Amino acid sequence: MQENHASQGLRERLVVVGNGMAGIRTLEDLLAKAPSRFEITVFGAEPHPNYNRIMLSPVLAGEKTFEQIVLNDRAWYEANGITLLTGDKVETIDRAKRTVTAMSGRTVGYDKLLLATGSTPFIIPVPGADLPGVVGFRDLADVEMMLEAAGKGGRAVVIGGGLLGLEAANGLKVKGMEVTVVHLMPTLMERQLDRSAGALLQHELERRGITVLTGADTAEILGNSCVTGVRLKDGQELPADLVVMAVGIRPNTELGKAAGLACGRGVQVDDAMTTSDPAILAVGECVEHRGLTYGLVAPLFEMAKVAADRLAGGVDSAYTGSVTSTKLKVTGVDVFSAGDFSGGKDCEDIVFRDAARGVYKRIVVKDSRILGAVLYGDTKDGAWYFQMLKDGEDVTAVRDTLIFGQGFGADGAANPNAAVAALPDTAEICGCNGVCKGTIVKAITEKGLSSLDEVRAHTKASASCGSCTGQVEQILALTLGDGYAGESKAKPLCKCTDRTHDEVRRAIATLELKSIPDVMQRLEWRTPDGCHHCRPALNYYLLCQWPGDYKDDGRSRFVNERMHANIQKDGTYSVVPRMWGGLTTAQELRAIADVVDKFAIPTVKVTGGQRIDLFGVKKEDLPAVWADLNAAGMVSGHAYAKGLRTVKTCVGSEWCRFGTQDSTGLGVQLERLTWGTWTPHKVKLAVSGCPRNCAEATIKDLGVVCVDSGYELHVGGNGGMHVRACDLLCKVETEAEVMEYTGAYMQLYREEARYLERTAPWLERVGLDYVKTRLVDDPEGRKALNARFLFSQSFSQDDPWAERASGAVDRHEFTPLAQVG
């Protein structure tokens, strides 16, 4: 039939279904190659000529009008002899007769058919999803509906924190709505951005007044005749006048499927963009090629080129798949991502963070080639990286300065000192304290300063968050020349950073950093997610700084603290229930005996900490063992924690003929006060009833020795590897004072010791006198420390075993994912 036409000199008939970006781009390319080969008819379901769908976001945000985004107006179709049938959806294809029939009843015959039906927003199938006021974000009609809703003000909930959802959220916010983004995953745009960039983006959106809920799953859309809100699976209800669903797209395959074309997720095509029927081609988002579907225009345009060439009679052109890059179109937020940034073996991560400018860049390099890139805050080199990525260019020559971008090195700025030298005197170096370069140089020359500490003392530069420390050192080096000896640097926290523990802690407080990714970004970590040294430390510092506010990161805890049990060399665990002050009862012992029998626990041992340890418990038995112990009133003994371990006691005045005070009772009180706390390293207390000291109180982190006239408080002792006897802090008269001093001492240690520094080395570092000035000489300060300790304890005294035994927390830790074979 086709040959017939050609031999009769008639033009072949091409019908295009879908008047969108891919279909019309194919026509443009085709017209350029073979302007008069086809008699062309285009069906479009939308009532508009072809427009730039991408630009709907700026239309929503009021930055563009619809007229400005039209790509081809009706005159263009006319000029090219194309019949355009808008507002008429094609409903069937008759492949035998080679005709299509549209909603209007119109039937048009074809020799070649091009499917370019795009995709539709995926609407999650929750109750209420079909209520008026629930809208996708796909076409002009959706935008018009959103603009109408926004005109009335009120609240919008956007479901989905991907590209489309965030552009919708931003647009609606700009238009005056109160906007909440509900996102299932822990970070925004997780498919395009890594966690660092995702967190930065979230902060920026929050700064703009958009509420972002991550890890939030929608249960139901509320409302009777129209939307009134959204209920999440955790029970939270969000009032809403408009709900935008932007959780993903689904290729439009109905037409092709109904016609019997091979379809998977999309209409399947080969490298010639031809479907299983040689007379039918397909392009755009409706297509599945080599198992992949695409949702961005760049690949669609590549497909269009091949389809056009094939339609024009070409035989060689082939589409072989695309590498994609993404940019978010929210004015003032620069986000770029491309390729595969997941890394893996032999991959190198090059990370650059410039906290002051809010910049984060990560390039993944493998075998000297760029595999992927994520840029936040400074995306001007995105295209450069993307080109090298697509070309598979060898980057060895530029490897060292790659991360600084294309312009780098051109002006000889490769030496970082040169960059600082080039700064004018008025350039601000220390943002926290507003100190300019000139001020620092002047202080160095006039006052004869020669070290970082002196500069800090005289100018305050780098004395707060410390993020300008490197620049201040460069200024010292530049000003003093060879006269600058450099810093005898305190040891950095770990290899991921140059900063010391103290600098990091100070920055967490002064910059109000509230999450691990925040700290890593602001303090310019060199690795994407740290290592086993820094992550537990940061988790502790954040927990200590923001009690009740910071959400503990289990993935940054050593296994014992994550599992709430001590791992043994064969991978089983030991379980130590708390025995307050070393006391137990027949009922507790019976419960322990029952647990041992029931779970066939191989070893039971009395510990050096005056309690009972059950060894060899299988991981999957832990929750059940805990449940049984809980039932008898026992809780975790935290034998695994950088936290309070035991309070050892002796019998004291209740029974002992030498006892001066109730050492057992006081020990129980102290354990009730301090259990559950997280500390830089483990903490052990003891109370002895007289100076015979049977509870070995003078080698404990805090030991109380009871005497006739009161209580001696001993601090900074250690058994273990380097035995250190305590120093006497002071003597007090009442139990209440013991309690207050203990709380204050714990808090001082919590706030000022470095992670993994026990009280003994801490005390040696800061000196007994310092601790005395804070606790003994300053009653107000002591009370304040104690108050902060009690406040923090109000969040930490939940039994971690009970939470897990009930199955509510971390269930996945205890069960295998699967059993095969």
Ligand X SMILES: Cc1cc2nc3c(=O)[nH]c(=O)nc-3n(C[C@H](O)[C@H](O)[C@H](O)COP(=O)(O)OP(=O)(O)OC[C@H]3O[C@@H](n4cnc5c(N)ncnc54)[C@H](O)[C@@H]3O)c2cc1C
Q: Which residues sit at the interface with ligand SRM, rule CB under 6 A? A: 566, 568, 574, 576, 605, 607-609, 611, 613, 639, 645-646, 648, 682, 684, 718-721, 758
As a whole number of angstroms, the distance between CA 322 and CA 697 comes to 69
Q: Given the rule CB under 8 A, which of 11-19, 80-88, 552-560, 722-730 is the region that contacts another protein?
A: 552-560
Q: Per-residue contact track with ligand X, 118 to 157, x per CB under 6 A?
A: x------------------xx-------------------
Q: Is 788 in the site for ligand X (CB under 6 A)?
A: no
Phi-psi region of 558 (alpha: psi -120 to 50; beta: other; left: phi over 0): beta
Q: Give the C-alpha distances (Å, rounded to integers) separating 85 from 102, 144, 415.
A: 10, 22, 63
Q: Which stretch binds ligand X (CB under 6 A): 40-48, 439-447, 467-475, 487-495?
A: 40-48
Is residue 30 a contact residue for ligand X (CB under 6 A)? no
Q: Exposed/middle/buried for 117, CB within 10 Å: 0-12, 13-18, 19+?
A: buried
Verify binding: residue 195, another protein, rule CB under 8 A. yes
Residues 6+ away with beta carbon under 8 Å from 603: 614, 615, 616
Taking the mean position of all CA atoms in its chain, how far away is CA 132? 34
Nearer to ligand SRM, 538 or 576 (CB): 576
Cα(458)–Cα(471) distance, integer angstroms: 16
Identify the sign of the CA torsion 110, 275, 121, 338.
negative
Token couple for 65: 């009008």
Task: Tell me the two tokens of residue 23.
Answer: 């279909």
Tokens at 778, concatenated: 């300053």
Name the minimum Å distance from CB 735 to ligand SRM: 23
Considering the rule CB under 6 A, would residue 53 count as an interface residue with ligand X? yes
Q: Which of 670, 721, 674 is nearest to 697 (CA)?
A: 670
CA torsion angle 497 499 502 507 (round to 10): -90
Q: How far apart are the first and last CA of the chain?
A: 58
Assigned token pair, 779: 């009653």
610/412 Cα distance (integer angstroms)? 67
Token pair for 119: 């995709």
114/687 with CB nearer ligand SRM: 687
- Paired sense of beta strands 112-115 and 12-17, if any: parallel
607 binds, among another protein, ligand X, ligand SRM, none (CB under 5 to 8 A by kind): ligand SRM
Look at the block and give the residue holding tokens 């092709």.
256
Closest CB to ligand SRM among residues 461, 683: 683
Count of other CB atoms within 10 angstroms of residue 248: 16
Distance CA 254, CA 749 (A): 66
Structure tokens at 177: 């709505």
- Residue 362 near residue 342 (C-beta atoms within 8 A): no
Residue in the shown chain whose Cβ atom is closest to ligand SRM: 720
Considering the complex, what minimum distance in angstroms separates the CB of residue 323 from another protein?
17
β-pairing verdict for 237-239 and 229-232: antiparallel
Interface of this chain with another protein, residues 560 to 589, rule: CB under 8 A = 560, 562-563, 567, 569-571
Report the C-alpha gap between 30 and 304 in whole angstroms.
Answer: 9
H-helix segments, 656-695: 663-674
Q: Is 256 in the site for ligand X (CB under 6 A)?
A: no
Angle at CA of residue 270, ends 266 and 274, nearest 5°: 85
300 binds, among ligand X, another protein, ligand SRM, none (CB under 5 to 8 A by kind): ligand X
Smallest distance, ligand X to C-beta of residue 289, A: 12
Where in 286-345 is the site for another protein (CB under 8 A)?
341-345
531 binds, among ligand SRM, another protein, ligand X, none (CB under 5 to 8 A by kind): another protein
Among 13, 15, 19, 212, binds ligand X (CB under 6 A): 19
- Interacting partner of 818 out of another protein, ligand X, ligand SRM, none (Cβ under 5 to 8 A depending on kind): another protein
Contact pick of 233, 290, 380, 532 for another protein (by CB under 8 A): 532
Among 109, 239, 248, 295, binds ligand X (CB under 6 A): 295
164 touches, from another protein, ligand SRM, ligand X, none (C-beta below 5 to 8 Å by class):
ligand X
* 232 contact choice in ligand X, another protein, ligand SRM, none (CB below 5 to 8 Å, kind-dependent): none
Dihedrals phi, psi of 133, to nearest 5 degrees = 100, -10
CB within 8 A of 532, min separation 6: which ones? 558
Q: Is 512 exposed, middle or buried (0-12, 13-18, 19+ CB in 10 A)?
A: exposed
Handedness of CA 223, 225, 227, 228 (dihedral sign): negative
> Which of 605, 731 has the CB closer to ligand SRM?
605
CA–CA distance, 300 with 290 (Å, rounded to integer): 14
- Measured from the CB atom, the residue of 678 and 711 that comes closer to another protein is 678
Q: Which is nearer to another protein, 421 or 809 (CB)?
A: 809
Number of residues that bind another protein (CB under 8 A): 40
- Residue 57's binding partner among ligand X, ligand SRM, another protein, none (Cβ under 5 to 8 angstroms by kind) is ligand X
- x/- binding map, residues 469-508, to another protein, per CB under 8 A? ----------------------------------------
User: How many Cβ atoms are within 10 Å of 420's Cβ, its own excluded?
Assistant: 19
**Residue 377 vs 716, nearer CB to ligand SRM:** 716
**Nearer to ligand X among residue 137 and residue 626 (C-beta):** 137
3 state DSSP class of 528: coil
Of 6, 10, 32, 54, the residue at the interface with ligand X (CB under 6 A) is 54
User: In whole angstroms, how close is the CB of 613 to ligand X at the nearest point?
Assistant: 59
Q: Which of 13, 15, 18, 111 binds ligand X (CB under 6 A)?
A: 18
DSSP state of 184: S
Q: Which of the ranges 111-119, 452-460, 525-533, 635-643 carries the binding residues for ligand X, by CB under 6 A?
A: 111-119
What is the C-alpha to C-alpha distance for residues 312 and 32, in angstroms, rounded to an integer?
A: 10
For residues 380 and 581, give the distance between their C-alpha atoms in angstroms, rounded to a whole number. Answer: 63
For another protein, the closer CB: 120 or 527: 527
758 touches, from ligand X, another protein, ligand SRM, none (C-beta below 5 to 8 Å by class): ligand SRM
Binds 611: which of another protein, ligand SRM, ligand X, none (CB < 5-8 Å by kind): ligand SRM
User: Pattern 782-821, binding to another protein, x per CB under 8 A?
Assistant: ------------------------------x---xxxxxx
Non-local CB neighbours of 515 within 8 Å, separated by 6+ positions: 199, 542, 550
303-342: contacts with ligand X (CB under 6 A): 329
Q: Which of 543, 534, 545, 467 is nearest to 509 (CA)?
A: 545
Radius of gyration, CA atoms only, the chain: 34
Could you tell me the smallest distance in angstroms from the CB atom of residue 548 to another protein? 24
CB of 389 to another protein, least distance (A): 17
Other beta carbons within 10 Å of 736 = 10
Q: Distance between CA atoms of 502 and 592, rounded to whole angstroms?
A: 43
536 binds, among another protein, ligand SRM, ligand X, none (CB under 5 to 8 A by kind): another protein
Q: According to CB under 6 A, which residues from 257 to 286 bind ligand X? A: 284-286
Q: Which of 529, 751, 778, 803 binds another protein (CB under 8 A)?
A: 529
Considering only residues 700-759, where is the footprint of ligand X by CB under 6 A?
none
Considering only residues 75 to 104 of the shown chain, the ones binding ligand X according to CB under 6 A are 89-90
Which spans of this chain sit near ligand X (rule: CB under 6 A)?
Answer: 17-23, 43-46, 53-54, 56-57, 89-90, 116-118, 137-138, 164, 167, 252, 255, 284-286, 295-298, 300, 329
Which spans of this chain sit near another protein (rule: CB under 8 A)?
Answer: 186, 190, 194-195, 341-347, 349, 527-532, 535-536, 554-560, 562-563, 567, 569-571, 812, 816-821
